[in-house]
Amino acid sequence: MTTRQEVKTRSGDRIAIVAGLRTPFARQATAFHGVSALDMGKMVVAEMLSRYDLNPKLVDQVVYGQVIQMPKAPNIAREIVLGTGMNVHTDAYSVTRACATSFQSTVNVAESILAGTVEVGIAGGADSSSVLPITVSTKLARALVDLTKARTLGDRLKIFRRLGLRDLAPVPPAVAEYSTGISMGQTAEQMAKTHGISRADQDAMAVRSHQLAAESWKAGNLAAEVMTCHVPPYKSFISEDNNIRAEIQAEKLAKLKPVFDKRHGSVTAANSTPLTDGASALILMPESKAKALGYQPIGYIRSWGFAAIDVWEDMLMGPSYATPLALDRAGMTLADLDLIEMHEAFAAQALANMKMFESRKFAEEKLGRSDAIGEIDMAKFNVMGGSLAYGHPFAATGGRLITQMCNELKRRGGGLGLTTACAAGGLGAAMILEVE
Ligand SMILES: CC(=O)SCCNC(=O)CCNC(=O)[C@H](O)C(C)(C)COP(=O)(O)OP(=O)(O)OC[C@H]1O[C@@H](n2cnc3c(N)ncnc32)[C@H](O)[C@@H]1OP(=O)(O)O
């Protein structure tokens, strides 16, 4: 449905993003090795409450998410409330929308504020690629359940005899589609081939991403939105993202071997997001509440759109479907935007989406529209670099994009910005933000 969206409460308040904060993003098994998504979520929410002097008693709701679920703590949002000394009466529930999870948690809080059921809410997401729910094979899992029912030693031995050595091997979570078994990297390869995205263009996007991210850190533009984390057992700390390579060289990138199609592929470790650990969070309120509490919001939500497409082909094309929804709902076109932040899952995926933004054929055939979404002006695109450089702790990336967009628009004197991401399951998210 593409009806115009008026993101205002019944009393005419806009939805204010009061603050956004994140942990540094760290490559798998580095600074946050051994620290769970829940612990990173607790760090960022606790720091946000303290840094913005927000009385926990005022927080009506926490909506949070993680993509790689921790079976021991399935409702991460509630564990954050209970683990940060927040008011125990703060309602909390968890959501997942794969790589667009913190777009979803933000929208959930916004919708509750619009409905008038929540006044102050916290949204966000966290993921760890280092603390993983490594499981057992289906056969072993079944045997373990059967063992609890076995009455005699003979019954137990029979169950063990069903198992081979291979059934005993641990099973790590896969970065692949459940329904097709195709990995995200293989989808990126498919998109590169279908849409004619060259290796050179992918590598150039990676170089740009790292250079802009390194410049942003150097200029001090990320300092306010990234906290320093003291890492349990508190002998070390991390205060900056550790995947960004200031001295990235195109010649070195060109020598890397493709990972997902070793013979004919073009997707490498450098033009893919690395597996990453991190967490992000946002404080949301109606504009008048924010002002009454003395806050100067960093931005306002103008519209959003979620889209769902096929998972067999072009599965990471979500931004090209979600963006026109968000633009229509805001009553805007791409040209009205001052900045665009697109999650770079893989350079091939971002470049394929950019191509589809400008394709009239795509608009006609896939979107049922007569005009293309529009050409992306590179001077407005991922101006602080993107996920290729920062990394991508799945559920935390939306929070990074939204906060980074608001703060960068502010530095430029305000304006309108699009944040958009692809997600597993053929999902796409887009959100338009305005900053004064
Ligand atoms: C909706 C979505 O977001 S879908 C996306 C979901 N995310 C994913 O699917 C994650 C995709 N990424 C991955 O799976 C992994 O990062 C992989 C498989 C691509 C690479 O993993 P690894 O092989 O462990 O990468 P690793 O860090 O060891 O890098 C391999 C080599 O490339 C080099 N390299 C990596 N990045 C760069 C870079 N930017 N510049 C130069 N060299 C680089 C490394 O130095 C390393 O070189 P070495 O072997 O000489 O030490």
Q: What does the pLDDT look like over 239-277, one tens digit per residue?
A: 999 999 988 888 999 999 999 999 999 999 999 999 999
Residue 401 lies in a domain: yes
The pLDDT of residue 181: 95
- Average pLDDT of the segment spanning 143-159: 96
- Average pLDDT of the segment spanning 145-155: 96
Contact 350, 205 (CB under 8 A): yes
The pLDDT of residue 175: 81
The alpha carbon of 408 and the centre of ligand 1 are apart by a number of angstroms equal to 28
* Ligand 1 touching residue 395 (CB < 6 A): no
Closest C-alpha to ligand 1, atom 32:
269
* Ligand 1 touching residue 182 (CB < 6 A): no
* pLDDT tens per residue across span 309-355: 999 999 999 999 999 999 999 999 999 999 999 999 999 999 999 99
Largest Cα span, the chain = 76
Tokens representing 119? 């006044």
Shared-domain flag, residues 203 and 164:
no
The alpha carbon of 273 and the centre of ligand 1 are apart by a number of angstroms equal to 7
CATH code where residue 419 lies: 3.40.47.10
Residue 261 lies in a domain: no
**Residues of 103-130 as b/e, b for ≥16 C-beta within 10 angstroms?**
bbbbbbbbbbbbeeebbbbbbbbbbbbb
Among residues 99, 210, 229, 406, which one is catalytic? 99
* pLDDT tens per residue across span 25-41: 999 999 999 999 999 99
Q: Give the range among 229-238, 270-279, 353-362 with minimum mean pLDDT.
A: 229-238
Q: Please give the angle made by the CA atoms of 415, 388 and 211, to the nearest 5 degrees.
A: 70
Output phi, psi for 428, to 5 deg: -140, 150
Indicate the residue type of 361: K
Shared-domain flag, residues 197 and 163:
no
Shared-domain flag, residues 162 and 215:
no
Residue 379 lies in a domain: yes
The pLDDT of residue 149: 95
The minimum-distance atom of ligand 1 relative to the CA of 397 is 3
Integer-rounded Cα Rg, in Å, for the chain is: 22
The alpha carbon of 291 and the centre of ligand 1 are apart by a number of angstroms equal to 44
Residue 70 lies in a domain: no
Q: Cα–Cα distance between 397 and 407 in angstroms, integer?
A: 15
Q: What percent of the chain has pLDDT over 70?
A: 100
Shared-domain flag, residues 162 and 216:
no
Would residue 99 show up in a list of annotated catalytic residues for this protein? yes
Tokens representing 407? 């703060």
Shared-domain flag, residues 327 and 189:
yes
* Ligand 1 touching residue 392 (CB < 6 A): yes
The minimum-distance atom of ligand 1 relative to the CA of 210 is 39
Closest C-alpha to ligand 1, atom 46:
269
Shared-domain flag, residues 140 and 216:
no
Shared-domain flag, residues 142 and 188:
no
Closest C-alpha to ligand 1, atom 5:
345
Overall number of domains in the chain: 2
The pLDDT of residue 248: 81
Residue 246 lies in a domain: no
Given pLDDT bands bounded at 50, 70 and 90, which one contains residue 425? very high
Indicate the residue type of 244: I
Output phi, psi for 423, to 5 deg: -150, 155
The alpha carbon of 275 and the centre of ligand 1 are apart by a number of angstroms equal to 8
Closest C-alpha to ligand 1, atom 39:
270
Shared-domain flag, residues 367 and 417:
yes
Tokens representing 142? 């079944």
Shared-domain flag, residues 158 and 207:
no
Shared-domain flag, residues 212 and 143:
no
Residue 125 lies in a domain: no
**pLDDT above 90 for 75:** yes
Contact 272, 192 (CB under 8 A): no
Given pLDDT bands bounded at 50, 70 and 90, which one contains residue 1? low
Closest C-alpha to ligand 1, atom 23:
269
Task: Among 184, 212, 243, 309, say which to mutate for ligand 1: greatest number of ligand atoms within 8 Å of CB.
Answer: 184
**pLDDT above 80 for 2:** no
Tokens representing 29? 């098994």
Residue 366 lies in a domain: yes
Given pLDDT bands bounded at 50, 70 and 90, which one contains residue 119? very high
Would residue 229 show up in a list of annotated catalytic residues for this protein? no
Among residues 195, 343, 392, 406, which one is catalytic? 392
* Ligand 1 touching residue 213 (CB < 6 A): no
Shared-domain flag, residues 160 and 212:
no
Closest C-alpha to ligand 1, atom 50:
256
pTM summary value: 0.97
Shared-domain flag, residues 342 and 413:
yes
The alpha carbon of 35 and the centre of ligand 1 are apart by a number of angstroms equal to 21
* pLDDT tens per residue across span 55-69: 999 999 999 999 999
Residue 89 lies in a domain: no
Sign of the torsion formed by the C-alpha atoms of 405, 406, 410 and 413: positive
Contact 366, 321 (CB under 8 A): yes
**pLDDT above 80 for 52:** yes
Helix H, strand E, coil C: the string for the chain is: CCCCCCCECCCCCEEEEEEEEECCCEECCCCCCCCCHHHHHHHHHHHHHHHCCCCHHHCCEEEEECCCCCCCCCCHHHHHHHHCCCCCCCEEEECCECECHHHHHHHHHHHHHHHCCCCCEEEEEEECCCCCCCECCHHHHHHHHHHHHCCCHHHHHHHHHCCCHHHHCCECCCCECCCCCCEHHHHHHHHHHHCCCCHHHHHHHHHHHHHHHHHHHHCCCCCCCECCEEECCCCEEECCCCCCCCCCCHHHHHHCCCCCCCCCCCCCCCCECCEEEEEEEEEEEEHHHHHHCCCCCCEEEEEEEEEECCCCCCCCCHHHHHHHHHHHHHCCCHHHCCEEEECCCEHHHHHHHHHHHCCHHHHHHHHCCCCCCCCCCCCCECCCCCHHHHCECHHHHHHHHHHHHHHHHHHCCCEEEEEEEEEHHHEEEEEEEEEC
- Average pLDDT of the segment spanning 348-375: 98
List the domain range (segments joined by +) for residue 141.
135-171
Task: Among 249, 275, 387, 401, say which to mutate for ligand 1: greatest number of ligand atoms within 8 Å of CB.
Answer: 275
Q: What ipTM was estimated for this complex? A: 0.98
Would residue 195 show up in a list of annotated catalytic residues for this protein? no
CB under 8 Å to 428, separation ≥6 — which residues?
100, 306, 307, 308, 309, 317, 318, 319, 320, 321, 322, 323, 420, 421, 422
Given pLDDT bands bounded at 50, 70 and 90, which one contains residue 400? very high
The pLDDT of residue 43: 98
Mean pLDDT across the chain: 97
